[in-house]
Amino acid sequence: MSGTTVPAESNETEAEPSVSAATGQEEIQRELSHEEYDPKGTLALILIYFAILMAMWVFMYFVEFLGNELVVVG
Amino acid sequence: MSTQTDQPSFVDRYPEEAAVVRRSLLVAFVMLGIGALMGLVQALHRTNVLRIIDSADYYTVLTAHGVFLAIVFTIFFLVGLYQWAVTRSLDRSPVDIRFTHAWATMMTVGSLMAGAAILLGFIDEVPVSADVLFTFYAPLQAHPIFYAGLAIFIVGTWMAGADWFRTWLAWRKDNPDERIPLQTFMVLTTMIMWYVATLGVAVEVLVFLLPWSLGLIDSVDPLLTRTLFWFFGHPVVYFWLMPAYLLWYTVMPKIAGGRLFSDPLARVVFILFVLLSTPVGIHHQYVDPGIAQGFKFIAMTNTMFLLLPSLLTAFTVVASIEHGARQRGGTGLFGWLTALPWRDPAFTGMALAGLLFAAGGFSGMVNAGMNINYLVHNTLWVPGHFHLTVGTAVALTFMAGTYWLWPQLTNREIYSRPIALAQVVMWFGGMALMSNAMHVAGLFGVPRRTAEPQYSFDFPALFGTIGELRLQIAVGGTLLFISTVLFLSNLAFSLGTPKREGFGQTIPPALSGPEDSPAVLDNMKLWAAIAVVLVVLAYALPLGAIISDNGLFGVGIEPYPMLVRPLFDWAGATLAGLAEVIA
Amino acid sequence: MTLPSFVRTRGGMLVGLVMLGAIGFELRTVAGMLFGIDLPAAPYFIGMVAILSIVGVYLDVTRSTSPDTAT
């Protein structure tokens, strides 16, 4: 049963559906091997995340540093 | 949920181990219930919506909320999940199941002792309390039973780790040339990190806080105990997160209908956590006087490196579920997102948890930056941040994972899948509301950790009003509480669903398997040694500086509250007399 | 307007609508914090909930009930 004992080379992924799946959940329609699969959707999502991060950093620079007076400590 | 498989389930194959896992999860969920109730009381109290407790009792509530959820709930779930993961992935029982029962019992006893000390704080007639918050450093002082309970609990976790290492060593004897299965690899690396990290809290509790609370020593150095706490206090957040990562890496691709994208990348991520989790704790002490800026800067640099494994995780996990979506027929740059099994509460819960974790990543970067940390330090921003991380990425993933794991541990179906789905979605919505409002309130300067967040100045709201933010926190907190109640009652009803066969689950192999990764990744001794070296580099000088400034036991401070001093004064005097006699 | 074929189940719709709700909620924060546009809370949230409800009802009545007919 242990998944890790299945040799990784085998494309035996006719796995059973999740026990928590809804009834009538669609089955896997096709097998994608490592070579056939290109995670470009993931890349797109991560680029969006980075774009948001960059925008927020730039925004913070303007508001918190250029927008405030100098604070002299000590 | 009527999926049938011909695989035997976990409980069919390992009934005794399944019983340990179930018991651990049940302790975790009882604590989740109490902790969530405390959370509701707090959210309604500090927003002035409903006040059923006296403000003086706020810290008892806050301590119970923090300790029950952040220590007992998370760690009990962890040991249950890890016991399952080790047994499943090595496909063998513990060397001696009595030892497994022993650590589970020790952890339970320790939790009960610490929990009792906290809850007795509500009863004025009993001179026992532990209103020291989750961050239990001096000068706040708890009853000795609290520290003793913590110590027993931590020793229980050490024994659990030893149990898993022992199982692995026995497995390795039988399989000398095989790579460590991924789930076991994750368990072992997490525990190496935990052994390193808990050194700090063990010293803090056993050398300083417990003797101090017993009256054996007069004073402790607050800065030293704080530093030792945070030595443990940052890696503990990864101790919460690692089991969630284990579920994201190994279970989520399966539920999504795909395969893990890269096993080597997963191993690298866990190694990075072993190395970098601990030498960063000083980033919680950016405003502590008595620690030189340079040490804080080193901690910040290490912290920024620590973003790397989480970003790697974002890539690997999303790529794995995209693989599932495309195997399900998903197409397009974003269209595949709709092909994911969103009706499966286990999947949806974990995916939404990951989404809010990405948001928590941003506020975490702000916390980690030495300069911008000052903007948010000790404001409500910080609880806003960690309710996204431990409160959602971890807690919601645990609840979602339970919907998948529980049937395999009991051979009983979850009572209601639609309620489960509504529950995880409600957690997401409630947390989006509450956490957002907390972040915004923090930027306005609203302090954390107070029943009465009203100081002599007005908080200028850049937009909206403070009252509106309070309402959002109250509504969000209420939704989260309802969500917890739905989770717990759904699980309670699941105890009564009829037993049946067919809950066995396999975990498909990774697209890029362990044979693609260098064997050195499996060298546990090497990584443990490097981790220790990094910790020594980061902590030797700051700890040395603190001790040489103030001595080991500080310059003398009065503990608060002074509960047990009279009781134990005589013990201290006796021991001091003894010491003189011996000297 | 043709019905969006990706909406198949009420469960999926619930997840989608709650996510849209969260995004709508955060957008008000972004408008306030980043652009200084103070959108009044009550009309904004009532409007948002109303729009999401209409969208939800529309999607529900046009939903393709059988997974087999969906693309």
Q: pLDDT for A17-53, tens place per residue?
A: 889 888 878 788 888 898 899 999 999 999 999 999 8
Q: What is the pLDDT along chain B (583 residues), one digit of tens a residue?
A: 445 567 899 999 999 999 999 999 999 999 999 999 999 999 999 998 999 999 999 999 999 999 999 999 999 999 999 999 999 999 999 999 999 999 999 999 999 999 999 999 999 888 899 999 999 998 899 999 999 999 999 999 999 999 999 999 999 999 999 999 999 999 999 999 999 999 999 999 999 999 999 999 988 999 999 999 999 999 999 999 999 999 999 999 999 999 999 999 999 999 999 999 999 999 999 999 889 988 999 999 999 999 999 999 999 999 999 999 999 999 999 999 989 999 999 999 999 999 999 999 989 999 999 888 988 999 999 999 999 999 999 999 999 999 999 999 999 999 999 999 999 999 999 999 999 999 999 988 889 999 888 765 666 666 778 888 999 999 999 999 999 999 999 999 999 999 998 899 999 999 999 998 899 999 999 999 999 999 999 999 999 998 888 888 876 655 555 555 555 666 777 788 888 877 7
Which residues in chain C have Cβ-Cβ distances shorter than 8 Å to A24? 67
Q: Is B408 on the interface with A (CB under 8 A)?
A: yes
What is the band of A14 on the pLDDT scale with cuts at 50, 70, 90?
Answer: low
A29 touches B at CB < 8 Å: yes
Residue A6 has pLDDT above 80, yes or no: no
Residue type present at position B257: G
Strands (E), B69-122: none
At a CB cut-off of 8 Å and minimum separation 6, what does B260 contact? B182, B249, B250, B253, B266, B316, B320, B508, B509, B510, B511
Q: Does A22 touch chain C (CB under 8 A)?
A: yes
Amino acid at B176: P
Query: B286 or A12: which carries more pLDDT confidence?
Result: B286
Q: Note whether residue C59 is domain-resident.
A: yes
Task: Give residue C32's pLDDT.
Answer: 85
Confidence of residue C3 (pLDDT cuts 50, 70, 90): very low
Structure tokens at B333: 């740059």
C-alpha B345/C-alpha B405 separation (Å) is 12
The answer to whether residue C52 is domain-embedded is: yes
Say how many CB pairs under 8 Å bridge A and C.
Answer: 5
Q: Which pairs count as long-range contacts for A63-68, CB under 8 Å and 24+ apart, including other chains? A: A64/B372, A64/B375
The answer to whether residue C70 sits within a structural domain is: no
Q: Computed over its alpha carbons, how large is the radius of gyration of chain A?
A: 24
The full set of domain ranges for chain B reads 10-574
Indicate left, alpha or beta for B39 from its phi (over 0: left) and psi (-120 to 50: alpha). alpha
Contact yes or no for C12 and B418 at CB 8 A: no
By Cβ distance, the residue of C11, C34, C67 closest to A26 is C67
Give the mean pLDDT of C46-62: 91
**Could you tell me if C24 lies within 8 Å of chain B, comparing CB atoms?**
no
pLDDT at B150: 95
In a domain, C71, yes or no: no
Decide: residue B449, CB within 10 A, 0-12 exposed, 13-18 middle, 19+ buried: middle
The candidate with the shortest Cα–Cα distance to B398, out of B19, B4, B36, B80, is B80
Cβ neighbours of B352 in C, within 8 Å: 15, 19
CB of A6 less than 8 A from some CB of B: yes
Lookup: tokens for B373: 């940390």
Interface contact A59-C9, CB threshold 8 A: no
B568 and B150 in contact (C-beta within 8 Å)?
no
Residue of chain A with shortest Cα separation from C10 = A22
CB distance B195 to B93 below 8 Å: no
pLDDT score, position B68: 97
In 3D space, the residue among B189, B205, B196 whose CA is nearest the CA of residue B149 turns out to be: B205
User: Which chain B residues are within 8 Å of A29, Cβ to Cβ?
Assistant: 327-329
Rounded distance between C-alpha atoms, residue B131 and residue B65, angstroms:
11
Question: Which whole-number Å values give the CA distances from A60 to A57, B149, B368, B461, B509, in the listed order?
Answer: 5, 44, 15, 17, 43
Of B295, B326, B289, B310, residue with least CA distance to B358: B310
Q: Which residues of B make CB contacts under 8 Å with C? A: 335, 338, 342-343, 348, 352, 418, 421-422, 425, 428-429, 432-433, 436, 440, 443, 462-464, 468
Residues of B in contact with A23 (CB under 8 A): 1-3
Domain extent, residue C18, equals 10-65
A20 contacts B343? CB cut-off 8 A: no
Report chain A's mean pLDDT, rounded to a whole number: 76
Structure tokens at B417: 């899948």
The Cα B510–Cα A11 span in angstroms is 10
Rounded-to-integer distance, Cα A1 and Cα B181, Å: 13
For residue B5, what pLDDT is reported?
64
B139 touches chain A (CB under 8 A): no
**CATH number of B10-574, picked from 1.10.645.10, 3.30.460.10, 3.20.20.70, 1.20.210.10:** 1.20.210.10
* Measured distance CA(B189)–CA(B266) in Å, rounded: 12
From the list B314, B327, B408, the residue facing A32 with the nearest CB is B327
In the Cβ-directed half-sphere of B488, how many Cα atoms lie within 13 Å?
18
pLDDT of residue B393: 96
Q: What is the pLDDT of residue A3?
A: 42
Q: How many domains does chain C have?
A: 1
A72 pLDDT tier (thresholds 50, 70, 90): low
At B512 the three-state DSSP class reads strand
pLDDT score, position B114: 96
Query: Residue A47 burial (CB < 10 Å; 0-12/13-18/19+)?
Result: exposed
For B144, residues 6+ apart whose C-beta sits below 8 A from its C-beta are B210, B213, B214, B564
Longest Cα–Cα distance of chain A, Å, equals 68
Closest partner residue to B342 (CB to CB) among C11, C32, C37 is C11
For chain C, the straight-line distance linking the first and the last C-alpha, in angstroms and rounded, comes to: 17
List, in order, residues 6 or more apart from B55 with CB less than 8 Å away. Answer: B45, B451, B452
Which helix (H) or strand (E) segment holds residue B128: the answer is none
Rounded to an integer, what distance in angstroms lies between the CA atom of residue B86 and that of residue B243?
12
Q: Name chain B contacts of C25, Cβ cutoff 8 Å.
A: 432-433, 436
CB contact under 8 A, C29 and B436: yes
**Burial degree of B48 (CB within 10 A; 0-12, 13-18, 19+):** middle
Q: How many CB atoms lie within 10 A of CB B304?
A: 15
Q: State the Cα–Cα distance between residues B35 and B274, nearest whole angstrom.
A: 29
Q: Could you give the CA distance from residue B538 to residue B389 in angstroms, rounded to a whole number?
A: 25
Distance (Å) from the C-alpha of residue C19 to the closest C-alpha of chain B?
8
Q: Does B417 touch chain A (CB under 8 A)?
A: yes
- Cα separation of the two ends of chain B: 72
User: In chain A, which residues have their Cβ closer than 8 Å to the Cβ of C67?
Assistant: 24, 26
* pLDDT value at residue A13: 46
Look at residue C4 and tell me if it is in a domain.
no
Give the span between the Cα atoms of B418 and A19, in whole angstroms: 14
Which tokens go with B512? 């890029």
CA distance B467 to B473: 10
- What is the value of ipTM here, to two decimals? 0.84
Separation of alpha carbons B111 and B76, rounded Å? 10
pLDDT of residue B96: 96
